[in-house]
Amino acid sequence: MAGQKFILEHQVNYYECDPSGHLSLSMLVALMILASEKQNAQLGVDEHVTKELGGGWVIIDYEGHFQREWPKENEQIKFETAIVAYNKYFVVRQFVIRDYHEQIIGTVNGLFVYMDLSKRRMAKIPEAIMTPYEAASTLRLPKVARPDKVEATDEWRENHYQVRYFDIDYNGHVNNARYFDWMLDTLDHDFLLKHQIMEIRMNYEHEVRPQTEVNSMAITIENNAHEWTTQHQIWVGTQKCATATIKWR
C-alpha cells in the first residue's frame, strides 16, 4: 500500500449488524468513509480545507473482495486506508479491513473524483492537498473494476424507496452508504440471511436527490451450487443513478 497509512479501530456494535448477525454492508461503507475522513483531518486536508478551495471528493466506484466471514457483534476490527495512486482528476484509495489477529477480512478500492462544487464538474486536484498523503502521482491509475453491463428485464425484482430525512447528511446529500440498503433490501430476505458477500463492484452515476423516490431493481443468478451473483440498479425516474454487481457465497 503506497502513501501515508491511517488505521481506524472499531468494535462492532449490535445496531450495526444485520439479521444474520454480521456487520451490514452500509455500515462497513460508512466506517470506510469515516476512516478516510479521519485521515484527511489528521493530514490537515479535511473537507473544510477542500471546501475553501471550492472543491470536494465524490465517490465514483468501489471494488471489494472479502475473504473471511463478515465480522459479528463485539468483534474488534480495523480499517487501514491509504491513497495508492492519483492523477490530475482522480484518486484511488484502498481500504484493508482486518480482524484482531491481523487476518484480512476484505480489501476495497475506491475511485474518487475531485469536483468543483460550484460548477458541479470535475476539477484539477490542487497539488497542495495531495502532498500530505505522500502518494505516487501516476498517469495510469490502478483499475477499479466496474459492475457488469446488464439491462434490467421484466424478471428483475423492483422496490420503491422514498428518500427519508435521516438518509440525508448535513451537507444536504444522500449518504452514499444508503444506496447499499436500497439495493440489498430488494433481494429476497431469506437469501440475505443465508449468504455473505465475497465480491462487490459498485458504480455511482448520478446523485440521488432528497425528496425523490428511488426505484431499486435487482436480480439473483445462481452460478453454481455455492455461488450466486446479484445485479442491481438504482433509478430515479428515467435516470440511472447507480449500478452494482455482487457475488455471494
Chain residues binding its own copies by CB under 8 A are: 13-15, 17-21, 24, 26, 30, 33-34, 37, 73, 159, 162, 164-166, 168-170, 172, 175, 177, 181, 184-185, 189, 192, 210-211
Beta bridge partners of 108: 64, 95
CB of 25 to its own copies, least distance (A): 9
Q: Report the SS3 class of residue 204.
A: strand
Q: Are 214 and 175 in contact (CB under 8 A)?
A: no
d(C-alpha 209, C-alpha 173), whole Å = 7
CB of 41 to its own copies, least distance (A): 9
Measured from the CB atom, the residue of 24 and 84 that comes closer to its own copies is 24
Measured from the CB atom, the residue of 145 and 168 that comes closer to its own copies is 168
Measured from the CB atom, the residue of 25 and 84 that comes closer to its own copies is 25
Q: Report the SS3 class of residue 242.
A: strand
Measured from the CB atom, the residue of 83 and 184 that comes closer to its own copies is 184
CB of 70 to its own copies, least distance (A): 12
d(C-alpha 167, C-alpha 151), whole Å = 27
d(C-alpha 41, C-alpha 234), whole Å = 32
Measured from the CB atom, the residue of 1 and 236 that comes closer to its own copies is 236
Beta bridge partners of 149: none
d(C-alpha 222, C-alpha 185), whole Å = 18
CB of 166 to its own copies, least distance (A): 5
CB of 168 to its own copies, least distance (A): 4
